[in-house]
Homo-oligomer: A and B are copies of this chain.
Amino acid sequence: MTTRLTRKEQQARTRSALLQSATRVLAEKGLHRASIDDITSDAGFTKGAFYANFKSKEELFLVMLDEHFAERLAAVERLASGEEALAQRAARAGQDFTDALRGNEEWCRLFLEFTSHATRHDGFRKEFKARTDALRGQIAAIYSQRAAEVGFEPPISPELIARMVFSMAHGVAIDQLLDDETPEDLFGSMLLLVFAGLAGEQAGAA
Measured CB to CB, the residues of A under 8 A from B are 28-30, 32-33, 109, 112-113, 115-116, 118-120, 125, 128-129, 132-133, 156, 160, 163-164, 166-172, 174-175, 177-179, 182-183, 186, 189-190, 192-201, 204
Contact = CB atoms under 8 A, between A and B. Distances in A.
Majority-rule SS of A interface residues: helix
A164 B196 CA distance: 15
Contacts of A32: 30, 32-33
Contact of A119 (B170, B178, B194): B178
A192 B156 CA distance: 12
Nearest to A183: B160
A124 to B, nearest CB: 10
Contacts of A164: 186, 189-190, 193
A67 to B, nearest CB: 19
A200 B197 CA distance: 7
Given A32-B30, A179-B132, A197-B193, A167 B163 contact: no
